[in-house]
Amino acid sequence: TFYSCSFEGYQDTLYVHSLRQFYRECDIYGTVDFIFGNAAVVFQNCNLYPRLPMANQFNAITAQGRIDPNQNTGISIENCTIRAADDLATSNIPIKTFLGRPWKQYSRTVYMQSFMSDVVDPAGWRDWNGT
């Protein structure tokens, strides 16, 4: 369990590797797949801040890695806020930010009762290989 913590990085900021995890009122900053892994994880009342990525990159908030349909894992994002970090908000470079992309065959991510600013691309999700 993590309460009122800040996780700041770029690509692969927070590895939610395994077991059960809970994050409440945390700030998480990143670019490509900045929340990734195969835990049963809940983010509640957190702030998710996509940052300005490197040239020719995009932002993907999640990359969930469930490999078996019987696994009880997934990423649950509840009552969270998604806003651009300051470096992205003040940039003139058009950057696409996606809710996530499937890392493995049975990836599972849910956003519910959350605020998504216009930083999120209207497509919502992106394929792993970008097609």
Q: Pick from 104, 87, 94: which is nearest to 29 by CA?
A: 87
**pTM, whole model, 2 decimals?**
0.95
Determine the CATH number of domain 2-116.
2.160.20.10
C-alpha to C-alpha distances, 5 to 1, 68, 122, nearest whole angstrom:
10, 31, 29
pLDDT at residue number 130? 57
In sequence order, what are the beta bridge partners of 48?
28, 82
Tens of each residue's pLDDT in the chain, 131 residues: 999 999 999 999 999 999 999 999 999 999 999 999 999 999 999 999 999 999 999 999 999 999 999 999 999 999 999 999 999 999 999 999 999 999 999 999 999 999 999 999 999 999 998 54
Write out the two tokens for 90: 């003040």
Q: What are the residue numbers of the active site?
A: 33
- Which is nearest to 50 in space by CA: 17, 4, 81? 81
